[in-house]
Structure 1
């Protein structure tokens, strides 16, 4: 008999101590299996990540042990690519998990002075003699721009002539943040399933009452529920309500029209309610939307026009997923998805994005809700395998039962992109949630 041990990351949320064990194991595997290839792809021989307490590089948290909730004083991580893989070295006052110690305070004057720490960095660089030294500076990618001006100056001064070899590590940072291990994908599958269950719970008779519950109430209910589970949200949940007789209002940005029912107006039978939420756990994030229709007295289904809007939304979702292919840029995916939707007479907005360590993660941007002409910079990035995206979009459909009023039907699902194509994570919403509203 073969003993099958279940993957603990698929049972979420995990206790914090168990989470730490999982995250540290992932970090070791990522350093061994992912980082060498990512450094080669970016053409970086040595990567220097510097973080100071209370002024963290966004990348630093993905390299520190799980029990390090922040940097301690100054932490300098040096990752050297050699024929044997990547050697991770920490130049820090305190030991840093899987990183080899590159300096102790006793190496200086006995007090761990700043100069001694930078001298150790210089020594490590001289021994490695890299051609290209990557540092986290970027004008277009915030997640790759974590090296502060002060630290950049100190590093440059310490390296002397080696400072001429400094190059932006933007492509390496993006690759490191966007690429997922198989175990991380499995965990995201479970975490997206948990997000779906929380949203379904709130968008139900147990979570709302027509005539008294407001959109603001629902948003706080989701926020509280996620926090209570130990999987806090990375943004305050958003709830939008669409109602017959309350048309979409023009937004000041890009001429976009959005739902106009105020957040503190009670929900009513006949409303179309969409909730957008994402949680954090195991150093990963989710980002999902779920939509419900509040039945009027005597109704057993949404009006046909609302159902057609939902069908149109899921159709555009399928068209966008088909356009997601490795080797293409985000702007190419956007253009193809929009063209395919237009060919079927659908009016759409596609604004999908990477998700993983960060909710709005590093990697190719596939449109923005207020700009459908392509995203300069991030939209030109190429899609790589083993990356996760929030497949987010909206479609506008007139509803005859609402006197032709237009519905902006939003959908958002998590998908993992591999060389074989796209696979949905969690429990995909296939039908409108129906809530008795009378």
Structure 2
């Protein structure tokens, strides 16, 4: 794919009507340029994506027009690979954006669409018909039991041609157009600005709690029109309150309702949604003691270790490797340098914890069966998420855990940070 440089003038969020127009333009381009490549790569001739209102396949939303917020009654989308490209056809009682209507009108009744699907299959004669069933990826497992049963009954002898579309669904969900990567740069820039605003205005030492700041972040994102896809979290670490073990991991032990005090290390985790894309960012701040003008040197050194761990991880993020191979290589590199770290990075894009290779989990550092065995592809985006631990001399040798997370994109040119790489520890005045 062609490269698109980050556009510092791209303003997000766009008004809703403009967002819908952008998403429709992206969908048309993805169906034209991307879908044939993915169907050829996975060997599927016809992809059937179906869902009923209030129980949509997660893939379905990525194929619907920008003005649609859900399926209507039953919506069946057929993507047929032929010599001319991919023909998208909708079997629905409503017009479905870039999809052509099926030549036959669905018969009356709740299951009338299936007769049309059967006639389409008889005419197209696809050798392999992909459906969304998957044991490893929930995002590729959206065909409900009832819909599967109805489809099998409708296809009759053609049901023998049904195959899991797991790799096709994951490829469709994980792959980003250059324009989408450019938008992710802008969205991550906005996320970083909101985090900086929270540290500057919402963190009031001696007054606000970690929960107060978390709700401030959620409200701020809502007011900006970029809804969070998870409740923002804010965690504190302070001298004299050591880490505690949970599920085999060492995690902060300061209560979330504790008031933020001078000398605290404040960590936040925020993700926003716009243009059908998502971000996931973490950043750390240190609240200065009254007589301090800089953070303790031990915390700055720990941050430098975290940056080094980011470098070690991105160096191993190579196309063709599985997520588990990336994880093992990054952890081996850390061990050689004496870095105590956990890596738990994940794809991001249409969904926050997106489709694609899992690169560890915070409580699974030996690899993730299934999702971790999926290979890395180019034109994908990830939340580069990890944590490093180290004793801090200024805290009496207490071990501090520093969590880092920032969006990156992997293209033919290599790994690039979305927005800019954040390398500093934010300093918050004592008051």
Please indicate the TM-score interval, normalised by the length of the shorter structure. Answer: over 0.9
Aligned-partner Cα distance in 2 for 1:115–1:387:
37
Aligned-partner Cα distance in 2 for 1:233–1:121:
38
Aligned-partner Cα distance in 1 for 2:420–2:189:
5
Aligned-partner Cα distance in 2 for 1:14–1:114:
38
Number of the residue aligned with 2:383: 390
Contact 1:53 1:72 in 2 (8 A): yes
Q: Structure 2 unaligned runs (5+)? A: 1-5
Matches for 1:413-428 after TM superposition, within 5 Å:
413-428=406-421
Contact 1:144 1:173 in 2 (8 A): yes
Any idea what the Cα deviations from partners look like across 1:347-397, whole Å, max 9, x if unmatched?
000000000000000000000101110111111111000000000000001
Number of the residue aligned with 1:243: 238
Equivalent position to 2:218, from 209, 218, 223: 223
* Structure 1 residues 269 and 115: CA distance shift in structure 2, 3 A: closer
Number of the residue aligned with 1:329: 322
Number of the residue aligned with 1:202: 198
Tell me the number of residue pairs that the alignment of Structure 1 and Structure 2 aligns: 426
Contact 2:408 2:415 in 1 (8 A): yes
Matches for 1:59-78 after TM superposition, within 5 Å:
59-78=59-78
Number of the residue aligned with 2:358: 365
Aligned-partner Cα distance in 2 for 1:8–1:314:
24
Equivalent position to 1:297, from 270, 286, 290: 290
Question: How many angstroms does 1:104 deviate by?
Answer: 6.1
Runs of 4+ in 1 over 6 A off after TM superposition: 6-9
Matches for 1:6-405 after TM superposition, within 5 Å:
10-102=10-102, 105=105, 108=107, 112-204=108-200, 206-251=201-246, 253=247, 255-405=248-398
* Structure 1 residues 8 and 310: CA distance shift in structure 2, 3 A: closer
Question: How many angstroms does 1:327 deviate by?
Answer: 1.1
Any idea what the Cα deviations from partners look like across 1:142-188, whole Å, max 9, x if unmatched?
00110000000000000011000000000000000000000000000
Aligned-partner Cα distance in 2 for 1:339–1:116:
56
Q: Secondary structure at the match of 1:212?
A: coil
Question: How many angstroms does 1:113 deviate by?
Answer: 2.0
Any idea what the Cα deviations from partners look like across 1:12-44, whole Å, max 9, x if unmatched?
010000000000000000000000000111111
Aligned-partner Cα distance in 1 for 2:430–2:320:
47
Aligned-partner Cα distance in 2 for 1:97–1:113:
23
Aligned-partner Cα distance in 2 for 1:341–1:155:
50
Q: Structure 1 unaligned runs (5+)? A: 1-5
Aligned-partner Cα distance in 1 for 2:144–2:172:
20
Contact 2:209 2:258 in 1 (8 A): yes
Q: Secondary structure at the match of 1:10?
A: coil
Contact 2:8 2:186 in 1 (8 A): no
Q: Secondary structure at the match of 2:168?
A: helix
Question: How many angstroms does 1:103 deviate by?
Answer: 5.4
Any idea what the Cα deviations from partners look like across 1:389-437, whole Å, max 9, x if unmatched?
0000000010011111000011101110012210000132111000012
Question: How many angstroms does 1:7 deviate by?
Answer: 6.8
Number of the residue aligned with 1:430: 423
Aligned-partner Cα distance in 1 for 2:268–2:110:
49
Any idea what the Cα deviations from partners look like across 1:44-73, whole Å, max 9, x if unmatched?
110000110011100000000011100000
Any idea what the Cα deviations from partners look like across 1:77-133, whole Å, max 9, x if unmatched?
00000111100000001110111101565x53xxx3234321100011111101100
Contact 2:185 2:418 in 1 (8 A): yes
Aligned-partner Cα distance in 2 for 1:306–1:94:
58
Aligned-partner Cα distance in 2 for 1:148–1:317:
39
Q: Secondary structure at the match of 2:78?
A: strand
Contact 1:235 1:278 in 2 (8 A): yes
Aligned-partner Cα distance in 2 for 1:98–1:18:
17
Contact 1:237 1:277 in 2 (8 A): yes
Aligned-partner Cα distance in 2 for 1:329–1:43:
20
**RMSD over equivalenced CA pairs, Å:** 1.3
